A and B are shown apart, each in its own frame.
Chain A
Amino acid sequence: MSVRVGEAASAPDFAVAAKSLLHNDQLRRNVRRATEVIRKKRANVVGEMPDWESLRQSAEAIKDHTLRHLAYYLEQFERNCARAGGKVHWARDADEANAIAIDIISSHRQKEVIKVKTMTTDEIGMNRALDAAGIRPYETDLADLIVQLGKDKPSHIVVPALHRNKMEIRELFMRTMGLGELGTRPEDIAEAARLYLREKFLRVPVAISGANFAVAETGSVVVVESEGNGRMCVSLPRVLISVMGIEKIIPRFEDLGVFLQLLPRSATGERMNPYNSIWTGVTPGDGPQEFHVILLDNGRTKVLADSVSRETLDCIRCGACLNACPVYRQTGGHAYGSIYAGPIGAILTPQLQSMEHSQTLPYASSLCGACYEVCPVKINIPEILIHLRNRIVENGDDPKIERLGMKMAAWAMGDATNLATARSLGRIAQMPFASNGAIHNLPGMMSGWTATRDMPSIPKESFRQWWGRRKREQSA
């Protein structure tokens, strides 16, 4: 089994990717404006809920319970889905999941497929696999379409094209859809997408969707969205394939009462999603006549085995933590080198795929706690970030210079005399750099700090020296 998260294996380190993105002023303006709008909308609709805190607690409890009995609920889901005419497939990793999907599409001799709202297929690089198998995927979620047409990468969990503004999208549509001059109003641009997509909806008989939830007791699958393109995808084609991570299971239908309140308010600042599609197996004469669910592991059972970071799997992909994150707001999603960006990406990607650049993601946070505060299922993201940093240190994957620094600091803090000695040495070391109580320019790994900030120099007298002097003076 090999776990792969999109292109994450070949992505650069976070700090490197962030540095180049920080120079892209247009992108940063787009990201800031978009996250600010969603953040304010979210704050308003969350603020009007008197039971928000208890909803969060319920959601956390439901998720915790489900993850503790995941095998039971997955099998219950499989039975109930099959009873209703669906077929459940189990995929250990990206390759297995892609092969299953390609097999199904090929068995219907199809060369095209429409897709909607499925980050999980981005995680497993399904579009690339489909292309390689001679199958052409069409993204039908508006933002996913923008990303696909622009050969771009998604930068946000809920609004993947958030880094693009209206005029950029207008130009992209004009260029890629072979259109003439397009109006500049949002309605004009949406109309172009509508015409482009309608033709696909009516022609292509196989669809691939994601799933927000899957209900064990009924075998139902749930997709929530704002545009209605998802509803088209899950109702018009003859064959529907839903790809979902195994953590998307909830035990009871009534649990949706909790999650369908939390998700839209957290994700888009809406009280309710405009489209809530819930279907169970197949219904003769109505909607898809063949329905497949691909249940994907791709590293999730490994996450489940860690008692501290397990709650990462509680995530319902609302994206509130991205909008709240001051780091994400500076860089946008691309710096995270994974389809899972922002704070949740910083804990999810390195757990699913413990290699290369993902080892720098747990450090892409100032631990300000804004993510934890807005998380509708109360994932303690700062705690998990620290846990993952600890794992990196325990594995000996921390940079040597950092390890040495920490060792020296541990010596200094180990004893008050050591601390005083370290302070005296610091006073000597700072001499070439300090003037008027400040340091303006430091070499090596500290140069990044002093590139934009002054640093106070170590003053002559420490607090404990002052305390000692005062005590002597008082007793004299």
Chain B
Amino acid sequence: MSFAAHFALHWRLRISLFITCYNDTLFPQTGQAVVTVLERLGHTVDFRETQTCCGQMHYNSGYHAQAFPLMEKFLDDFRESSVICVPSSSCVSMIREHYPVMAEKSGNQELIRDVNELLPRVFEFSELLVDKLGVEDTGSYFPHRVAYHPSCHSLRSLHVGDKPERLLKSVRGLTYVPIEDADQCCGFGGTFSVKNADVSSAMVQEKARCVIGADADYCAAIDNSCLMQIGGALSRMNTRTRTVHLAEILAATEGDAAHLANGSVHG
């Protein structure tokens, strides 16, 4: 265990949650679960109520002029935060990969410095737990068969590796079931799923077949965007497999095994 992780284990951190716009709107239970897990580990969570969106949708769709003020807003909203937790790898990827590009392009030295100072403070949820807090066993209990879909951004941009799987495998009662061609994109891709709906559908059909093949109760991920896509297909196919954000599994304990049964699962 690194010194920083050891330090973090024994000292309470104040962690700012960046919920992300679509989690705030569509998947509030994910944010609640993040709060539950971090508080259970002894940390304090704050929520900066001015926050909205990282700007990913605008940026990836080519609307850079609209993404830019959202970057400035993010920098302002989280200026005072020392640790920022984001339960979405694609939003973290937006911040890590594209904020520096946007800042550089603006030529604004102050902005470039602000972004440089921001990046080390931003953690994807599983990164925060494993790298920053040095935790793999979150004291969770989830007696189900769980498959894991490693999202593209988590694999190829954040390189989180097997951190989410390590967290899952430490959950008591949980049976981890691998899925075939796990590293293949689910076909969401933001506006891609609308602009190229047919190809996107064909892609998720393949992903859904792999998930169904694993005969899992739940398909987990660290991105609700992928889970919306996968869960949407699974639901339409009338399968029994549900989708769930990693945080929601980690939030479940023996005391509240009913946590997920009470409608907090999407798809």
Chain A contacts to B: CB under 8 angstroms: 14-15, 18-19, 22, 326-327, 330-331, 362-370, 372-373, 383, 386, 388-393, 398, 402, 406-407, 409-410, 412-416, 418-419, 423, 426, 437-438, 440, 445-446, 448-449, 451-456, 458-459, 461-468
Contact = CB atoms under 8 A, between A and B. Distances in A.
Contact of B200 (A14, A366, A412, A461): A366
A15 B201 CA distance: 12
13 contacts: A362-B62, A363-B192, A365-B189, A369-B157, A370-B185, A406-B63, A414-B52, A419-B21, A449-B194, A449-B200, A454-B231, A454-B232, A454-B236
Nearest to A392: B62
B197 A448 contact: yes
B24 A419 contact: yes
Interface string B221-243: 00000001101110110000000
Interface string B147-184: 00000110111000000000000000000000000011
A464 B52 CA distance: 10
B70 A413 contact: yes
Contacts of A392: 62
A383 B100 CA distance: 13
A365 B192 contact: yes
Contacts of A368: 152, 156, 185, 189
A466 B58 contact: no
A15 B198 contact: yes
A409 B63 CA distance: 11
B220 to A, nearest CB: 16
B64 interface: yes
Q: Tell me whether chain B's interface is mostly helix, strand or loop, or mixed.
A: helix
A448 B191 CA distance: 12
A367 B156 CA distance: 10
Highest count of chain B CB atoms <10 Å: which of A372, A448, A465: A448
A22 B198 contact: yes
A326 B192 CA distance: 13
A224 B190 CA distance: 39
B61 A406 contact: yes
B218 interface: no
Contacts of A414: 52, 69-70, 73
Q: Tell me whether chain A's interface is mostly helix, strand or loop, or mixed.
A: helix
B60 interface: yes
9 interchain residue pairs of minimum CB distance: A448-B197, A366-B189, A389-B62, A453-B232, A368-B185, A369-B156, A463-B28, A368-B152, A413-B53
A400 to B, nearest CB: 14
Nearest to B24: A463
A367 B203 CA distance: 13
A466 B193 CA distance: 29
B25 A423 contact: yes
Given A452-B233, A462-B24, A406 B198 contact: no
Given A15-B198, A369-B156, A416 B62 contact: no
Given A367-B192, A419-B52, A330 B62 contact: no
B203 to A, nearest CB: 5
Given A326-B184, A326-B185, A419-B52, A467 B47 contact: yes
B263 interface: yes
Nearest to A456: B266
B201 A326 contact: no
A452 B205 contact: yes
Contact of A363 (B187, B195, B228): B195
B51 to A, nearest CB: 7
Contacts of A446: 194
Contacts of A18: 196, 198-199
Contacts of B57: 406, 409
B195 A409 contact: no
A364 B24 contact: no
A367 B188 CA distance: 9
Contacts of B267: 454, 456
A390 B196 contact: no
Nearest to A28: B202
A443 to B, nearest CB: 13
Given A330-B202, A389-B62, A416 B50 contact: yes
A15 B187 contact: no
Nearest to A331: B199
Nearest to B201: A452
B201 A453 contact: yes
Contacts of B258: none
A366 B50 contact: no
A404 to B, nearest CB: 12
A391 B62 contact: yes
Contact of A448 (B27, B155, B194): B194
B211 to A, nearest CB: 14
Nearest to A23: B198
A399 B32 CA distance: 37
A462 B235 contact: no
Contacts of A412: 52
